[in-house]
Each structure stands twice: as structure tokens, then as C-alpha cells.
Amino acid sequence: MGEVMIKLENVSKTFVSGSGEVEAVRNIDLEIEKGDIFGIIGLSGAGKSTLVRCLNLLERPTEGKVYVAGKDMMSLSNKELSVERREIGMIFQHFNLLMQRNVLDNVAFPLEIAGETKKAAREKAKKYLDIVGLTEKAASYPAQLSGGQKQRVAIARVLASDPKILLCDEATSALDPQTTKSILELIKNINRDMGITVVIITHEMSVVQEICNKVAVLDHGNKVEEGTVEELFRAPKTEEAKKLVFSETAHIRHMRSDRQIRVVFDGKSAFEPIIGNITLELRTPVNILYANTQTINGNAKGEMILQLPDNKEIADKMVEYFKEKNLGAEEVNYVD
């Protein structure tokens, strides 16, 4: 086991409003190791954004302990806390750039606030603009940039403070799929080349599959599942996790079929003619309702949703066949 960068012990956060108390986060235990790209995923209202703000104490937990790089964050004074927060960069869905400053000065701004001279801050800013691939936009203003370029500026601004941790709160939600892919690739490179631990908050399974190595699933403030991304993709255990993993295939529930099975395979098993073999062996055709491949942690993974035959005996044999082949195979019922 590697060095633990972030540790939460029994963290809860309750908000009090005129209409009563709202438990946004309940009894969360979590360990994020140095160098992880850790995904925290859940549907809207799951408590993800509250949880990420508890990591740097922008929200102070009602109960529990937060440790960052071994330090008990709850015991620090405000002054000590502001020093520690410099180690934790944060990017958001909305880029929060200063519209009246050009790109270079946007990146230099937090360095000037921290006491660096304008000249030194700009020199450093140039270096980080180069890292995010925006050297030629240094003199442009935010209004002249695309969404993806704005997010790159926001990332450069965070990197300029030399953080050890990067928190990304729905950082790609406002971007189109192609731009999302390029921003995730950039974050992956930053994690690899600079050794920065990354925490990704998202409601999109595709983001987790693209970039994360580990994941925790939140639902109504509770952590309901945790493990590697491969484990979650192959065999989600809880209903909440299944909803997220199967979200792309949800339209299949509208097709007429009493029984369906989801089969997961990796690069090796993909070369075996599994469907052909089972069709020949059981002399029954198989209807493929959905098929897709993903790259998870650099490895090719595929999934298929198959309609099982009406004949119960043959359908049961098919289920058994897939399980014997050690494929992730589970009958699925899609729930709204």
C-alpha cells in the first residue's frame, strides 16, 4: 500500500436551514493514496461537492477527521489552514477567470497575491501555460477563448502554486465530448509527470472510466461502494452503482425482452468467438442488444447486453456458459 495523501474518518456534514437539517454527507471513511486519480461519482444531490469541499475544509465537517499528507486539518488555525490550502488546487465547472486580465496575468494572479513580484509571477505563469499548451494565447482575454481553453487556463493557474493535490469538481461538465477527452488527457499527464494526486468529482461514468484508477460511489450522502474502476465496471454490487455503470445502456429496458444478461470481457477474451461458440453449442441464436468497448486504465474492456432466449432451460445454460468462461456476467434489470 502506498503513502496515504488524504484520509477521511467518519466525516459527516449537516446543514441547518429554516426548513430543518440536511445531512449532505454521512459517516464517510476514505483513503486516497499519493499518485491516485480517485473518482467520487454520484447522481445530482449525492453529496459529492460537499464532500470535496470537506477535503480542504472550505466546508468544516460537523463530525469526523480530515487528514491531508498526515496533518489533522481540523486542528489547524485559520492561518495554518490557509498555508495548507496552497497545497490543494481546485478547478470547477465554471472557470472563474478574471475577465479584465489577459491569460498570462490570470495565471500569475494567485502568485502575486502570495507575495511574488509581478515579473517572477509572469515568468512562472509562462512555464505553466506551456504545460497546458496555451503559450500562444498568453496575451488573449478569457472572452476570446473556447471553453476548453478557459479550463486549461484555470488548470495552469492552479499548477502555478505547485499543489500536491488537484481537486476537480465537475471540471468537464460544461465541455463537449472531444474537449472533455483532451482536458482529461491533460489531467492524466499532470498526474503522471508532476506526481500530483487528483480527486475527480463527477456524475459521468465515462469520465471515471477514462481517467481514474479508483472510485467511490456516493448516494444521498452515503458511500455505497468503493474499489478499482475495473471492479466497478465489471461487477457493480449496489443498485446505485449499477444505475451509474448501466446509464449508457438504459434505453435497452424499452426493448421487449424478459431476460437480459450483461457480459464484460477484456482484451484477451475479446479475441475468442464466444457468441459464435455458444450459438453453435446450444443451437440457439443470441440477440445482441448493445455492445461497446471502453479503455479503462489503459486496458481495453468491452461489454455486451444480450437478450436471452424465451426457453428457460437454454437461457439458464447460456448464463452458466458465460460464468464458466470467467467473464463478468450478470443478469440485468434496468430500473428508472
Domains in the chain: boundaries = 4-235, 246-331
Domain 246-331 has CATH 3.30.390.10: no
Our CA angle for 29, 34, 40, nearest 5°, is: 45
Q: Which residues contact 118 (CB under 8 A, 6 or more apart)?
A: 108, 112
Q: Are 92 and 56 in contact (CB under 8 A)?
A: no
Which CATH code for domain 4-235? 3.40.50.300
Query: Which tens digits make up the pLDDT trace of 193-243?
Result: 999 999 999 998 889 988 999 999 999 999 999 999 988 888 888 888 888
**DSSP states of 258-307 as a string?**
S-EEEEEEETTGGGS-HHHHHHHHHT---EEEEEEEEEETTEEEEEEEEE
76-106: b (≥16 Cβ within 10 Å) or e: beeeebeebbebbbbbbbebebeeeebbbbb
Q: How confident is the model at residue 313 (pLDDT cuts 50, 70, 90)?
A: confident
Q: How confident is the model at residue 268 (pLDDT cuts 50, 70, 90)?
A: low
Which is more confident, 315 or 181? 181
Residue 93 is classified by DSSP as S
Q: For residue 30, how many other CB atoms are within 10 A of its CB? A: 19
Query: Which tens digits make up the pLDDT trace of 49-93?
Result: 999 999 999 999 999 999 999 999 999 999 999 889 889 999 988
The rounded distance, in Å, linking the Cα atoms of 57 and 67 is 10
